[in-house]
Amino acid sequence: MNKIGVAFPDFVSTDKIHKKQKEFVQSHSTRDIFLLICLVVFVFLLFVRIFYLQVLQGSKYRYLSNSNRIRTVIIHAPRGIIFDRNGIPLVFNIPGFREEINGKTVQIEQKDALALIAKGKKDLEVDSLREYPYKDDLAHVLGFLGQISKNELSEAQYSGYKAGDLIGKDGIEQEYEAKLRGTDGKQLIEVDAMGNPVRTLGQTDPIPGQNITLTIDEGLQKAVFDAMKGVKKGAAIVSTPKGEILAMVSKPSFDPNLFTLGSNYLVSSESSYFSVSDILTDSKNQPLLNRAIAGVYPPGSTFKLIVAASGLQNNIINENWQVQDTGVLNVGSFSFSNWFYTGYGRTDGMVNIVKGIQRSNDIFFYKLAEKVGVDNVSKTAQEFGLGKPMGIDLEGESSGLVPTREWKQKTLGEPWYLGDTYHYGIGQGYLLVTPLQVNGWTQGVANNGTIYQPHLLKDEKPITLASNLLTANNDNLIRQGMVEACTTGGVAWPLFNFTVKNDSLKIDGRNITGIPASSGSADMRQIALACKTGTAETGNSNDQPHSWITLFAPAYNPQIVVTVLSENSGEGSNIAGPIAKNILNYWFSR
């Protein structure tokens, strides 16, 4: 019998071999199943993802895909044109471009934009830029455009606007933004992978803004601005007796094109400012302030018209009431003098209401204010429109200040003194008014006691602010005093015997008279004027007084009401008077 031998020892078990083979097969089968499950899960997730992207989010990604090849270009609507009363355009819309730089919209002139496009610039938007041909002359009337702010975007009046839009920031541009702004259009353009236009797919045309016509007379506006050329700070207003603003100037002024025509715009040498930064940082002169409606000042002797009206209308005095001009009034240790006595050592003798206005006699108005009383004077001032806005269609109008006994006690903790009344009687002290308010009460005398709301939009029906402020007799007395103030013996010496060369003016013997032929100028006409000057101290002994004049002409059939203020420049007759004369020369010569 043969033996197996050592190669196959008897301790080798075939059962173990079979067991290992079985375990190997089972392990291999489990791994295959796991891989299969993973594959199924992966395919399922892939299917879910594809379903999500193509079905649930399909519209979104189709939009993004289209956006990569279809560009929406805004076509900016041109703003409405602003015309003067004679149909002369005061603004122009010119071709231009805009782009977004660091979140801000920058307007670019056409020549600069073309240079950028030539260098490969592709993201410029075609725009309609605003140009102001009259530059500094009309800056405070027209205003300018600027980018809408975050705060403005939240206001109801700007609903529908978007970041980067340009809106009126001042003047008429701001006041009539809703009328002037048009409706933007848009254009769908297909572009290639490089962003170059391929074709236009569709377009919605823009709708231009509405044109508007102002009461402003451009020729007169320029004449007023030129007349104010030597004034550093001040204002002038010319209106009709019905409240239409014919001209309005505030100094210093600025060129509004700086805000609208880009950084490369070149300012004319006549402008006071050469950059937007210069305008915004001049806190001393505040060129953006419209002094005609927002500057407040003591009115000086122009206020004597209100004091006179208060005394007459309250039946406290009449044309026969007189005051002896003593040159100086003493109240305790204080003295109150008349300008004629201080400057020339002379007095005006007995003074009634007409002579008081003619000579602007301080002694007369000290005593009149004392007799009438602060309460009556303040009440009359408020009736003539002081202490509140007149409602002109421009933002930023100031109210001024009409002082009272109660106001002083509450504000300063002091009672009202007789000296306060004396100062008040000549338009000094705590009283503050705007040039527009001075023009308003002058209009009240010109209109026999009626004041109309001032406005700049043409074809507006006159709105009466106050009426029956003066009886016919009282109006005549004040008017006569103003007429005599502008003639020999009065105080407004630059306006004495005011004549113009214009033979088309109809002679009526009262408002307009002809110069005798013996003078060699048969075509000359003398215009009757009614005026009141004012010299208002500022309280600082180092400063010159404010110079005022307010008037209407012709005196008995007024066409225009003129008010001029020159800050810290001297006496009313010497400074404001010649300015008013130049304005009148332009108006009546044409």
pLDDT digits (tens, 9 = 90+) for 230-245: 999 999 999 999 999 9
Q: What 8-state DSSP symbol labels residue 527? A: E
Helix (H) or strand (E) holding 199: strand 197-204
Three-state SS at 447: coil
Average pLDDT over residues 178-183: 93
Cα→Cα distances 567→273, 435, 534, 576, Å: 20, 11, 12, 10
Q: What angle do CA 462, 216, 506 make, to 5 degrees?
A: 80
Strand pairing class (451-452; 245-251):
unpaired
Report whether 405 contacts 417 (CB < 8 A): no
Q: What is the pLDDT of residue 117?
A: 78
> Taking all residues of the chain, what is their mean pLDDT, rounded to a whole number?
89
Helix (H) or strand (E) holding 136: none
Sign, CA torsion 255/260/263/264: negative
Residue 11 has pLDDT above 50, yes or no: no
Residue 27 has pLDDT above 90, yes or no: no
> What distance, in Å, lies between the first and last C-alpha atoms of the chain?
156
Q: Give dist(CA 271, CA 290) in Å, integer.
A: 17
Task: Tell me if the domain spanning 257-264+293-589 has CATH number 3.40.710.10.
Answer: yes
- Assign 160 a pLDDT band (cuts: 50, 70, 90): confident
Three-state SS at 84: coil
pLDDT digits (tens, 9 = 90+) for 521-560: 557 999 999 999 999 998 787 889 999 999 999 999 999 9
DSSP 273-331: -SSHHHHHH-TTT-TTS-HHHH--B--GGGGHHHHHHHHHHTTS--TT--EE--SEEEE
Q: What is the pLDDT of residue 7?
A: 47
What does the longest C-alpha to C-alpha distance in the chain come to? 179
Average pLDDT over residues 355-372: 98
Task: Tell me if the domain spanning 68-213 has CATH number 3.30.450.20.
Answer: no
Cα→Cα distances 327→29, 124, 197, 324, 445, Å: 128, 73, 85, 9, 29
Residue 448 has pLDDT above 60, yes or no: yes
| Percentage of residues of the chain with pLDDT beyond 70 | 91
Q: In this structure, what token pair is assigned to residue 528?
A: 């009757």
Characterize 46-59 residue by residue with b for buried, 16 or more Cβ atoms within 10 angstroms of its Cβ, and e for exposed. eeeeeeeeeeeeee
**Range picked from 70-84, 190-204, 225-239, 248-262 for highest mean pLDDT:** 225-239
Q: What is the pLDDT of residue 72?
A: 77
Show me where the domains of the chain are located.
68-213, 257-264+293-589
CB atoms within 10 A of CB 118: 8
Measuring CA to CA, which residue among 234, 240, 236 is closest to residue 214?
Answer: 240
CB atoms within 10 A of CB 519: 10
Report whether 454 contacts 392 (CB < 8 A): yes
Strand pairing class (104-109; 92-101):
antiparallel
Q: Name the pTM for this structure.
A: 0.85
Q: In this structure, what token pair is assigned to residue 183?
A: 């409706």
Q: What is the pLDDT of residue 331?
A: 92
